[in-house]
Amino acid sequence: MGDRWQVTVDRGVCIGSGMCAAAAPDGFRLDTARQSHPVAPETDADERILAAAEGCPVEAITLTSAGSGEAVFPPEE
Ligand code: SF4
């Protein structure tokens, strides 16, 4: 891929399931309130981070291409 992604977690939506941190331990951590946050706001494109975003039960994770700003996940309709 070679792309860079901006990673955000909507903490108002996150229910603290921990699935993202399990899928991508380098990408997401849960804080003491069991809210997920990205380890870094920008990261190399990574299948595990995409899998974490896809696997979030409440779609709290948004990925955008750092270069173009295009939606990576959820994909634009
Ligand atoms: S998978 Fe979604 S709901 Fe679960 S901790 Fe991660 S961001 Fe929050």
Nearest 10 degrees: Cα torsion 24, 1, 61, 30: 20
The minimum-distance atom of ligand 1 relative to the CA of 59 is 2
Tell me the per-residue pLDDT of 30-52, one tens digit each, with 9 for 90 and over. Answer: 999 999 999 999 999 999 999 99
Instruction: Tell me the whole-structure pTM to 2 decimals.
Output: 0.94
Q: What token pair was written down for 52?
A: 């974490």
CB of residue 23 inside a 6 A radius of ligand 1? no
Query: What residue owns the CA closest to ligand 1's atom 2?
Result: 56
pLDDT band at 76 (very low <50, low <70, confident <90, very high): confident
d(CA 57, ligand 1 centre) in Å = 7
All domains of the chain in start order, with CATH: 4-73 (3.30.70.20)
